[in-house]
Amino acid sequence: MHNLVILGASGSIGQSTLKVLRHNPGRWQVLALTAARSVDAMLRDCLEFSPRFAVMVDEAAARELAAQLKTHGSATRVLSGPAALCDVAAHPDAHSVMAAIVGAAGLAPTMAAVRAGKRILLANKEALVMSGAFFMEAVREHGAELLPIDSEHNAIFQCLPEAIQRQPGFCDLAGAGISKILLTGSGGPFRYTDIGELAHVTPAQAIAHPNWSMGAKISVDSATMINKGLEYIEARWLFNAAPEQIQVVIHPQSVIHSMVQYKDGSVLAQLGNPDMCTPIAHALAYPARVESGVEPLDFFSVGEFSFIRPDYERYPCLQLAMHACQQGQAATTALNAANEEAVAAFLAERIGFMDIARVNEATMLALGGTDVGSLDDLIALDGAARARAHNLIEELS
């Protein structure tokens, strides 16, 4: 039996992963589920999937979950605190680790899984954006296997030759006849909104994504399109792509999940309904194919595909992220940290929607040139960027 650890089990990706497991009974055994503090969701899922371990980052939530599980006669052992996330991610009996914690908080447990040489199903793009070359070097050094969950990167992966799929982070795209990665994105809920109105949009409007159902942070990131920018950086590392080998294309229908253009003029694309269960099922079973529970694509109901060039006046965060990718690791780490703080402040209604770009740009300008020679330097820079972003948020709110 293949043992699976799900980091961030109570979230949108974690829940979709459990959905795929329900469609494939007996194929995967859940070794551990983890969450920050959602007792009810964890109780329900522990009773259904009987993991050996349940980790709650919050100690009070862990005590509550343990008490509730006991009354149900469950044998699941409850652990607490951030170190326990790393312990289960690197557990000797774990084969695959679904990295689906949101934000930089996912870096340490994901790295623990990498260092233990696991098969990593990577949803937590912020971990890779924050640590870039250090993360990819650790993957190589420890013989970990990296399978992208982000729908675009999963699509790109599926369109690459099999030889490249085995070591995507260190491949030679041009040598394999590839001229470009075409990274598609829907443009989010505000793609047709008057630019002048954007300063006044509310968190509820920003979270209401037209095509995908996702956690709050990535939904806001999709509205600013920094999500596409983070994905641009993610693609740079996952596929060893130079920034000029990646092009962002707005595709409002979200049916083409991304494409790879070859030098002979061929373009390979992966298509499907916009449901994360497809990339999750693909990565879980790779190289086999299993049921995901996703409805087959009906081309007649889709009708038409359209494509739009991104407008950086509407999406300044997308351009910032592309600049950060050109500038280098410190800039991407600072930008990612600032953005996490700015999105949290926007969701708490402390700053406006367009202030997110202001906080991000100012933080990146101030700290994007910092010298970073190690992962510890990056973690320190992440902290400094958050402090800087906090000050800016104070001034704006």
Chain positions contacting ligand NAD, by CB under 6 A = 8-14, 35-36, 38, 57, 100-102, 105, 123-126, 150, 212, 214-215, 217-218, 276
> Across the strands, what pairs with 182?
247, 259
Query: Dihedrals φ, ψ of 301, to 5°?
Result: -80, -25
Give the residue with the Cβ less far from ligand NAD, 96 or 396: 96
Q: Please work out the total of residues on this chain that contact Mg ion, with binding judged by CB under 5 A.
A: 3
Nearest distance in Å: CB 186, ligand NAD:
12
Residue owning tokens 């009987």: 50
- Residues of 117-148 as b/e, b for ≥16 C-beta within 10 angstroms? ebbbbbbbbbbbbbbbebbbebbeeeebbbbb
Q: Which does 357 bind (CB under 5 to 8 A by kind): ligand NAD, Mg ion, none?
A: none
Nearest distance in Å: CB 16, Mg ion:
13
The residue at minimum Cβ distance from ligand NAD is 11
Residue owning tokens 């605190």: 81
Give the residue with the Cβ less far from Mg ion, 150 or 275: 150
Nearest distance in Å: CB 274, ligand NAD:
9
Give the residue with the Cβ less far from ligand NAD, 86 or 269: 86
Decide if 337 contacts 103 (C-beta within 8 A).
no
CA distances from 197 to 201, 203, 308, 349 (A): 7, 14, 21, 16
String of contacts with Mg ion for each residue 146-185, x by CB under 5 A: ----xxx---------------------------------
CA distances from 347 to 11, 32, 194, 221 (A): 17, 30, 21, 11
Give the residue with the Cβ less far from ligand NAD, 119 or 217: 217
Nearest distance in Å: CB 31, ligand NAD:
16
Nearest distance in Å: CB 102, ligand NAD:
4
Give the residue with the Cβ less far from ligand NAD, 3 or 336: 336
Decide if 320 contacts 361 (C-beta within 8 A).
yes
Give the residue with the Cβ less far from Mg ion, 45 or 150: 150
Query: Dihedrals φ, ψ of 260, to 5°?
Result: -125, 125
Nearest distance in Å: CB 263, ligand NAD:
29
Nearest distance in Å: CB 300, Mg ion:
26
Query: Dihedrals φ, ψ of 350, to 5°?
Result: -90, -30
Q: Which does 258 bind (CB under 5 to 8 A by kind): ligand NAD, Mg ion, none?
A: none
Give the residue with the Cβ less far from ligand NAD, 1 or 83: 83
DSSP secondary structure of 14-50? HHHHHHHHHTSTTTEEEEEEEESS-HHHHHHHHHHH-
Interface positions with Mg ion (CB under 5 A): 150-152
